[in-house]
Amino acid sequence: MFFDSKKRQEKREAKRKERLYQEAVKKDPLFQDRLNRNHEIMMDSIRILNDTRNLVTFTGRYSDAKSAAFRLETAFLQIGDDCCQGIQDEIDTLFIERLPAVLDLELAQADALKTLSGKRKRWNGIVQTLEKCERVSGSAVEDAITEAEAKVFLLLEEGTDWSKEPVDIDFGPSEAVVVESLKKAALKTAIERGIPEDQARDIIEKTIRNKESGQG
Q: Contact at 8 Å (CB) between 51 and 98?
A: no
Number of domains making up the chain: 1
Find the domain containing 85 and state its range. Answer: 5-129
pLDDT of residue 139: 94
Question: Is 208 inside any structural domain?
Answer: no
Give domain status of residue 50, yes or no: yes
Residue 51 placed within a domain: yes
**pLDDT-above-70 percentage for the chain:** 75
Kindly report the average pLDDT of the chain as a whole number: 83
For residue 26, what pLDDT is reported? 84
Any domain includes 215: no
Domain annotation covers residue 121: yes
- Is there a domain that residue 202 lies in? no
Whole-Å CA distances, 99 to 50, 58, 118: 10, 8, 23
Contact residues for 191 (Cβ-Cβ < 8 A; gap 6+): 197, 200
Mean pLDDT in residue range 196-200? 69
Residue 216 within any structural domain of the chain: no
Best CA proximity match to 146, nearest among 109, 121, 183, 198:
183
pLDDT at 19 > cutoff 50: yes
Dist. CA 200–CA 184, nearest whole Å = 11
Is residue 172 domain-resident? no
pLDDT band, very low/low/confident/very high, at 159 (cuts 50, 70, 90): low
Cα-based distances in Å from 135 to 95, 153, 186? 11, 19, 22
Query: For residue 117, what are the contacts with CB-CB under 8 A and spacing of at least 6?
Result: none
